[in-house]
Amino acid sequence: MASPFFEYLREFMLSRRYAKRTIDTYLYWIRFFILFHDKRHPNQLGDTEVEQFLSYLSNQRHVAVKTQATALNSLSFLYRHIIQRPLSQDLHFNKSHTPQKLPVVLTRAEVQALLALVDLRYKLLAQLLYGSGLRLMEAIRLRVQDIDFDYLSVLIWQGKGNKNRRVTLAGELVPALHGQIHLVEQYYQQDKETADYAGVWLPHSLARKYPSAPGQLGWHYLFPSHQLSIDPESRLLRRHHLDETTLRRAIKCAARNAKIRKNVTCHTLRHSFATHLLEAGVDIRTVQEQLGHSDVKTTQIYTHVLKQGGNAVKSPLSLLLAGNFSQE
């Protein structure tokens, strides 16, 4: 049976339109914090205990900088909105300094081999991840009307950091996308015949502004779930988007079958998109815009991949074995 305290937390966040992922994340870190302090109620804890917990994450768990920041955000929410005793702005704890990892990048041949072996049900999604540099959830959450066939582009709404952007679309994907939209239309016609069908889910502000939009084809997900389900918040019958874990598994399986010995994830295709654009001579500012990075410094990580690759710096061993050295 769920704790009444955590049920209250969940209901509080749902009533304030927090995203489901945010709710799950905050609950995870709040639960972890309580367990760390021997199940004491947060009302009995404060700044000192939060500092101890955050230091523990850095010292013993060796979490990344972003992970520690997420834990702090979760506890800040807890003490500001639930306990109503905001944390100090001057907390002292050992901050994580995990070095930034270099992205895993596939060669063009590896991308080709992987895409050839992806389950056909997820191939178009995988091609969009690589061909347009999309994040996993950006691709999964695409709506039918987000594909601009006239300008060969994809519209990304409220991506990471709530940013909107327009990215390139490979013309070779147009026939497959038309086929996918036809599939959505079939689901759409079928769902309209279902008595309790309430249309597709929309963010709350859009649902208020466009009350008829949930019933329009253009707003429906481009990659829909294979079955209808009950919206946990509104309790209405809807067709949600495809479960992202199925795509993750498909990419892992394809990489394994292609015998790629790198740690391949969906995000690897986005890394490869950026690196291959830079290799082709595309300006870094253009790549930054395509990826939706706020700061070009974030995009520069891909130039490090290029500089540290085998084509940028000639190993002295290569010169030695080729006989290109002089006697001193």
Which tens digit of pLDDT belongs to each residue from 228-250? 999 887 889 999 999 999 999 99
**Would you state the pLDDT for residue 277?**
93
Residue position matching structure tokens 């768990």: 61
**Would you state the pLDDT for residue 323?**
67
CA dihedral (155, 217, 241, 132) in degrees, to 10, reads -20
Residue 13's CB: how many other CB atoms inside 10 A? 20
**Would you state the pLDDT for residue 102?**
80
The whole-angstrom separation of Cα 17 and Cα 265 is 30
| Structure token pair of residue 101 | 């990892």
**Would you state the pLDDT for residue 96?**
85
**Would you state the pLDDT for residue 304?**
75
Return the active site residues.
135, 160, 267, 270, 293, 302
Q: Confidence band (pLDDT; 50, 70, 90) for 162?
A: confident
* Cα dihedral sign, 171-175-176-182: positive
pLDDT at 98 over 60: yes
Q: What would the mean pLDDT of 103-112 be, rounded to a whole number?
A: 94
Q: What would the mean pLDDT of 36-41 be, rounded to a whole number?
A: 95
**Would you state the pLDDT for residue 313?**
61
CA 246 to mean position of chain CA atoms:
14
The mean pLDDT value of the chain amounts to 90
pLDDT at 204 over 80: no
Q: What would the mean pLDDT of 244-263 be, rounded to a whole number?
A: 96
Helices (H), the chain: 4-15, 20-36, 47-59, 65-77, 108-117, 123-132, 136-140, 174-192, 204-209, 244-257, 266-279, 284-291, 296-299, 301-307, 316-322
Q: What would the mean pLDDT of 144-172 be, rounded to a whole number?
A: 92
Which of 20-24, 25-29, 162-166: highest mean pLDDT? 25-29
**Would you state the pLDDT for residue 322?**
74
pLDDT at 139 over 80: yes
pLDDT at 164 over 60: yes
pLDDT at 199 over 90: yes
Q: What would the mean pLDDT of 112-132 be, rounded to a whole number?
A: 97
> What is the value of pTM for the model shown?
0.80
B/e letters for 268-293, b = 16+ CB within 10 Å, e = fewer, are bbbbbbbbbbbeeeeeeeebbebbbb
Angle at Cα 88 formed by Cα 83 and Cα 94, nearest 5°?
Answer: 115
Q: Poorest-confidence range of 89-103, 133-147, 169-183, 268-282?
A: 89-103
**Would you state the pLDDT for residue 266?**
97
pLDDT at 63 over 80: yes
Q: What would the mean pLDDT of 113-139 be, rounded to a whole number?
A: 96
Closest CA to 16 of 82, 90, 106: 82
Q: Poorest-confidence range of 19-23, 27-31, 290-294?
A: 19-23
**Would you state the pLDDT for residue 215?**
93
Q: What would the mean pLDDT of 82-90 be, rounded to a whole number?
A: 94
